[in-house]
Structure 1
Amino acid sequence: MSDQTGAREVVPTLRDVAKQAGVSTPIASRVLNDDPDVRVRDDTRARILEVAATLGYMPNGVARSLRRSRSDAIGLVMHNLTSPMNTTVLEGVRGRCASAGYVTLLADSEQLAADSSHLRSFLSRGRLDGVILHVGHGYHEQLIADVSRHVPAVLVNSDGSGSVPTARLDDVAAGRTATEHLIGLGHSDICFVGGPKEAITSLGRQRGYEEVLREAHPAARIDVVSAGWTDEMGAEAARRILSRPRLPTAIVVANAVTAAGVLTALRQAGISVPNEVSVVGIHDAWFANHLAVSLTTVRLPLFELGAMAADLLLGTLAGEPTPANALIVDPPPILVIRESTAPPRAASLS
């Protein structure tokens, strides 16, 4: 007898869904096949969809469609759609998918985190061949589970704990590049303003900052202030720094948008940048050159990040082996020097 006898995966049936949802099989079928004429209460519809997603049930017609054809559509679930950095990632995804014959459908991760039932319903009907998840920190685990249950998925610069392939930036190198610039100018009292405390992108950039500062000045204080990814959060972090008895001579900020808020708060407090405090932001964006003091930045390969994520997903769809983590090292982070950095004041006066 084969070792595999009796070990076949139990495939959930429509009857299983109906029974667990407490409805008739015909009603479950009509809801799951998106029959526009079926009349059920919203909570009943939601319960049926939830049970189907939990059980991993897929209508037979959809399963046959997924085996034999494709929908020619890739989903991109993205957080903070207004961010100028994220739009560059989107361009990379869309360009690569278009060249492979796919259209890209965009969704907001914050909305889906609040209610992913519509996404699960959309996926269960086979309307996407795969999904790229560029999601924010703290709430993406359930989205990953919901998506990967139905279709292949890829993460963008997030931690999926190995459950799905991930395209990553070299955030450690970005933090190193920013800090090396300031060390080269003569700074040793350098503060790091990060994103959310547990965000892996911010932690990687913080690690690069800490490595360089310890290498150059072993006795220097590691000075980290948690903020977030908005200008308002950057301004609040700067105000906390301004409340200290003594200011650092330089600040590395984990995000250019956050850095814009830091610059605003410093200006409002009458602090001269870069004469009193130098500021470097990680990520480059169109606005960096148009601030009251143009911002020195570390440019990261965001277009290439989107293209790499698309390549990972397209390779998976083609049945090709894909790495669990694809780190983009070419092109490397690039320093873009503008007006916001200079030697520390004591050094410039000596």
Structure 2
Amino acid sequence: MRPRTFFAFVGPSLVLMILFIAIPLVSVFLQSFWQTQTVFERVEIENCTPGFPAPNCTTQTVTRPLLDESGRTVTETIYVGLDAYRAVVQPEAVAAAFAAGEDFWSRLSNIDFWKALRFTLTFTLITLPLVVGLGLAIALAVNAALRSLRGPIIFVSLLPFIVTPVIGALSIRWLFIGDGILTNALEAMTGTQIFMFAQGWTIEILMLTYRVWHVAPFAFVVFYAGLQTVNQDTLESAVIDGASRFERLRYVVIPHLMPLIVFVSLIHLMDAYRVFEEVIGFSSQAHRISLQFLTYDFLMPDDSGNRSISRASASSMLTMIGIVILLVPLLMRTWRDYKPRG
């Protein structure tokens, strides 16, 4: 392909990536080193009440935002270096937690960033094998089903993936919270009261279960499409050689699907590490938060209307670094599989 033709195809994508990915990323990176804050002034205010023979007046000094000539609040932007990162990670509190010895984990769990990091990593690394395994199992089952049944089975299997994530999470929450249908059913079977949202570990199980239920259909569709391209001659040769079903799966089917398994893993890692919908849908902020929710929380205005833009930017950059670290092994495998061989 000629260079001119190549850039004609790639150019629009490069422009959009620069506009909507590269520039915002650089902007967030720079904002993590600068802090914009409101300028306040101290003024004396005289309050008078009617009195005889003269009014009673008192003077008090108050602090209020400084306004410009147009009546808008005056702000200033100052360079803070790594202070935003230190405010998020809190290395002094981490060192104090290490010094506490046996009480280390409970102290570390009181720091928002490390609590969010723990849940994010657990959520990502537990759901990944479950999504890949369940998606592959469904794909193998549908591929072995009668051709007349495959259409309805595929349609039903895709329904969880069609549901909007927040709506799906809210639906699961309503089934279990309070006197939900499933809560009442469990209480009737066990004879004990069940409070699924009173402790963090039960909420976390529900969130993990929902993510697997929601994302497994995507893996199923990808793997099912890959199964249609498996070389039938190779499978027939394996059957003639006496290979069992498990051996055919291990030595023929899975190696053929490995590029798709890596692809699904990459997509899931990037998506699960940015978990946010489940935290909102299950209202788990009191027990479980994610790195994405932590960034969102920094962006919410405080009582004075200020937003922690620098800390939110620092949290976003740390989240991105975490995603890159998780993707490195898969990207290295992909590079080894497809790099030109000399």
Larger radius of gyration: 2
Higher RCO, Cα 8 Å, sep 6+: 2
Name the one with the larger helix percent: 2
TM-score of the two chains, using structure 2 as the length reference? 0.23
Q: Choose between structure 1 and 2: higher strand proportion.
A: 1
Normalising by structure 1, what TM-score? 0.22
